Amino acid sequence: MLNVLRPALSRVLTPVAEMLARTPVTPNSITIIGTAGVVAGALWLFPIGHLFAGTMVCTGFVLADMLDGVLARVKGTSGAFGAFLDSTLDRVADAAVFAGLTIYLVRTRQDTLALVALFCLVAGALISYAKARAEGLGIPCDVGFAERTERMLLALVPAGLTGLGVPYVLAIGLWVLAVLSVVTFGQRVAAVRRGASALKGAGADGPPASQRGARAGETQ
């Protein structure tokens, strides 16, 4: 849903990317640094209760990580491995955020909410995999309310506000995300079913059976 903001953000990051393009910095190095920063902030600060600081660190590195695609375009070095690395490490960063929140909630004896955070982690992985698998079969699957941007917002914004002392907001954010994740997964399954029916009706069965076990990564 919020992917419509990407062009505007890309324009903001382009001057920074143009400066970095004149240095030895590569898009892949930015991807790795951004992921490492998110993982460090989420797994170090969230579990010990520094939710606002953790949110600021994670948000900063998430924004920095978005610079890799802009830099790749400016340098003209976009490639399959860079896309693979970015998508794969996005999964690592997502897992770190929700794992950090889960540990914090367990340590503060909010066991039910910890289970909700864990559910959001698993659901996010399923949502991403559903799209990747569909596109590997040649079926478009760019649908759903809770794509990666929305999932991160619904985790990080409430976490930051909780760190500032706003009550109940983390619980609301995680429950809303859990519901939207279920809806999004259902939307993607339905989209794939329609797409598969359309392919069958057109006489196309997608990739050969030997390719159907392949897995692909994606960013949403």
Report the catalytic residues: 90
Angle between helical axes of 111-136 and 169-201 (0-180°, round to 10): 20
Classify burial at 154, counting beta carbons within 10 Å of its beta carbon; exposed 0-12, middle 13-18, buried 19 or more: buried
CA-CA distance, 73 to 115, in Å (whole number)? 40
Helix H or strand E encompassing 116: helix 111-136
Amino acid at 144: G
The CA–CA distances, whole Å, from 213 to 38, 51, 106, 190 equal 31, 40, 37, 20
CA-CA distance, 90 to 55, in Å (whole number)? 16
